[in-house]
Amino acid sequence: MLKKFQNDLKKYQPIQKVLFGSPGTGKSFKVREIAKSNLRIKEQFDSKFLENTVQVVFHPEYTYFDFMGKLIPQTAENNQVIYKFFPGHFQKALGIAYREILRLTNKNALLIIDELNRGNAAAILGSVFQLLDRSNDHWSAYEIDISEQETLGIFQSMGYDVRMSSEGILIRSESRKCWDHIDYYYDYYRKIFENNLDAKRVLECLKNNKISIPKNLSIICTINTSDESIYYMDSAFKRRWDWEYIDINYEIEGVQPIKIQWETDEKILTLEWSKFLEKLNEFIKNNHKSIMKLEGKQIGFWFLKGDENNIITPDQIKNKLMFYLWDSVFSRDKKPLEELIAKKYSKDIKLSVYSDFISNADLFVFAIVPKDSWTEL
């Protein structure tokens, strides 16, 4: 009974995790599974979008202001320039989480950060970094100060109609059909939520222009370990996350077999993609001395996707898979590719440029898995 209670308790704790692994291992799919099974986040009706979820991809041009929010100039009807605040991705997720707490729904919110290491995470998060430390109650251990404009952005993300005035933030009251000063809102809801600690905490934070990550907001990130343009993440940043390695799975449940279809001069041959992939990864691992960061250079099942008939074409092999091998896996040393073909066919071969590799695509493919292991159509 105690073990079941502990498992249930853990199941509904907020998740702050980085999923990492080789390209094509299904990290994005894993995020969705965690959202639905662990966080009880449902897909929106008649779509595959997750409820209460904000998703963002980090990249070199992505900044703190994209993450938190920013003022953007706009032209009003009288041609005057006005400035409007637009909440960033973090503020949107935070606003959703606060909204659900004040609605007493017990629903979770989720911020998904794809390609965490393609942006300068330390600069993007800025002071939000301090909020990643969680207390035993699963809220942030600390609070940080924000501007009044940023507080307004959170109210926008919560779904309120708000505006800035010389007196501060005004909020539209639908019941009273008027604009109320934000202090009226705080006083009104403080009485309603007198016995709800989480709701009171949200109100106190916003009243004092502060934020804290609540227990119903999870953050899940993904990293492709093969990426070369990686911003450095120090140990202080890393230890604020749980890290889960997504290994390569060659047998995917509930998925129709995906096959490579390869045309030779004599016939059309087929082979299950998983069998080819397993042999290819063996070849990559056997040549680990020629590869930097081997763990991230292997290839996952979803690196190539079949068409509507679950067929992978020669063009996909040549233009994506072989290019990845040439440009990323064996970028430092092409000898393993040359030796693979040379030993198989007892012939000297020189791969000086990528076109040399492509012109020998048949030899490469059947060196990984011999012809006699393929099935003739």
Residue 229 has pLDDT above 60, yes or no: no
Average confidence (pLDDT) over 165-174: 89
Q: State the pLDDT at residue 296.
A: 85
Closest CA to 122 of 209, 19, 231, 218: 231
Average confidence (pLDDT) over 79-87: 87
Residue 321 has pLDDT above 60, yes or no: yes
Q: State the pLDDT at residue 228.
A: 62
Q: How does residue 5 score in pLDDT terms, banded at 50, 70 and 90?
A: very low
- Cα separation, 42 vs 170, in Å, equals 33
| C-alpha 261: how far from chain center | 32
pLDDT digit string, tens, across residues 327-337: 999 999 999 99
**What share of the chain in percent tops pLDDT 90?**
79
Give the burial class of 129: count Cβ atoms within 10 A of its Cβ; 0-12 exposed, 13-18 middle, 19 or more buried.
middle
Q: State the pLDDT at residue 55.
A: 98
Q: State the pLDDT at residue 8.
A: 44
Average confidence (pLDDT) over 366-376: 96
- Cα separation, 119 vs 287, in Å, equals 31
Q: How many CB atoms lie within 10 A of CB 39?
A: 24
Average pLDDT, the chain: 92
Average confidence (pLDDT) over 154-174: 92
pLDDT digit string, tens, across residues 336-347: 999 999 999 998
CB 121 within 8 A of CB 128: no
Average confidence (pLDDT) over 276-293: 95
Residue 265 has pLDDT above 90, yes or no: no
pLDDT digit string, tens, across residues 112-150: 999 999 999 999 999 999 999 999 999 999 999 999 999
Q: How does residue 1 score in pLDDT terms, banded at 50, 70 and 90?
A: very low
Beta-carbon contacts of residue 162 (< 8 Å; ≥ 6 apart): 152, 155, 156, 169, 170, 171, 172, 182
Q: State the pLDDT at residue 177.
A: 82
- Cα separation, 155 vs 160, in Å, equals 6
| Weakest mean pLDDT among 46-50, 202-206, 215-219 | 46-50
Q: How does residue 230 score in pLDDT terms, banded at 50, 70 and 90?
A: low
Q: State the pLDDT at residue 377.
A: 87
CB 139 within 8 A of CB 80: no
Q: State the pLDDT at residue 47.
A: 74
- Cα separation, 318 vs 232, in Å, equals 32
Average confidence (pLDDT) over 239-267: 91
**Domains observed in the chain:** 10-245 (3.40.50), 259-376 (no CATH)
Listed in sequence order, the DSSP H helices in the chain are 2-11, 27-37, 64-68, 89-102, 121-125, 148-157, 182-192, 197-207, 235-238, 273-286, 314-316, 322-324, 335-345, 354-359, 361-368
Q: State the pLDDT at residue 141.
A: 97
Average confidence (pLDDT) over 10-32: 89
CB 288 within 8 A of CB 330: no
Average confidence (pLDDT) over 355-359: 96
**What share of the chain in percent tops pLDDT 70?**
96
Average confidence (pLDDT) over 261-274: 93
Beta-carbon contacts of residue 358 (< 8 Å; ≥ 6 apart): 318, 322
Q: State the pLDDT at residue 173.
A: 84
